[in-house]
Amino acid sequence: MPSTADFHLHSYFSGDSDTSMEDMILRGIELGLTDMCFTEHNDFDYPVTEADPAGCFELNSDAYLYDFLMLREKYGDRTHLYLGVEVGLQPHLARLNAAFVNTLDYDFVIGSSHLCNGKDPYYPAFYEGRSTQDAYREYFESILENLKSYSNFDVYGHLDYVVRYGPERDKGYSYEMYREIFDQILTKLIAMGKGIELNTAGLAKGLREPHPCAGVLKRYRELGGEIVTTGSDAHAPGQIAHAFDRAAEILKDSGFRYYATYEKRTPTFHKL
């Protein structure tokens, strides 16, 4: 059966969403989700420019917790709700991120790379003056640097996020093109006891495969990785649990028989 747990959700507590947590919860209940985890953004040092004054992604933790607890009390008998956070990783932020994660009793922490050497691959400037392949490689190499400096997370989010926005998107892209660096990343994650997520936002945005691509998922499993969560990366109700039927098939084809949910930073495994 497909996953009934969406463990990557955003609301207006994230700088790139204007949707209420309640609207997200009601849609999840309508879809029959048994487990929903909000993973609001926190990206320290996100560049705020005159052209992008809304680019700040620092979470108001107190307000987030207050609303979450109110809504869990209201809807907790209809779906399981979990408090999570998506932390933007950069090597120089390791101590700041570690202190931030410890401010609340989170159920689940996603570590993600939204910035690569201070630049967001969402913007065309990241790719200017070089090949798409070189830009992608820089992004993947930055993930390995993050793993060398920071460990207080549960899964690494959308490992190949960069292909969502590159000028060639995922045309010609595959695990094999970056085998050496991906194998280092996956081996390191497994040694650290960390998982990865199958993030369906890539499919929602027209890519051929989810994040990461099936080749990366298969290789993680081949190397001994077992922890995988499912998330839509939804920022609006209509995106919740997008393509979860397909996600389940991709996971099975990649060698997985279980997906994970987290409570109090501890995984529970559910059969696909």
Give 60-115 pLDDT, tens digit per residue. 999 999 999 999 999 999 999 999 999 999 999 999 999 999 999 999 999 999 99
Decide if pLDDT at 188 tops 90. yes
Tell me the CATH number of domain 5-271, given options 3.40.50.170, 1.10.8.620, 3.20.20.140, 3.30.70.100.
3.20.20.140
Expressed in angstroms, the distance from the first to the final Cα of the chain is 5
Q: Where are the domains of the chain?
A: 5-271
Tokens at residue 179, please?
């085998």
Decide if pLDDT at 51 tops 90. no
Contact yes or no for 88/244 (Cβ under 8 A): no
How many Cα neighbours within 13 Å face the side chain of 171? 6
pTM of the model: 0.96
Q: Looking at 96-183, which runs of residues are DSSP E strands? A: 108-112, 155-156
Q: What is the pLDDT of residues 222-246, one digit of tens each?
A: 999 999 999 999 999 999 999 999 9
- Taking alpha carbons only, the member of 271, 197, 270, 189 closest to residue 230 is 197
Euclidean distance between CA atoms 119 and 125, whole angstroms: 8
Peptide bond into 267 cis (omega under 30): no
Euclidean distance between CA atoms 34 and 16, whole angstroms: 25
Judging by DSSP bridges, how do beta strands 258-263 and 266-271 pair with one another?
antiparallel
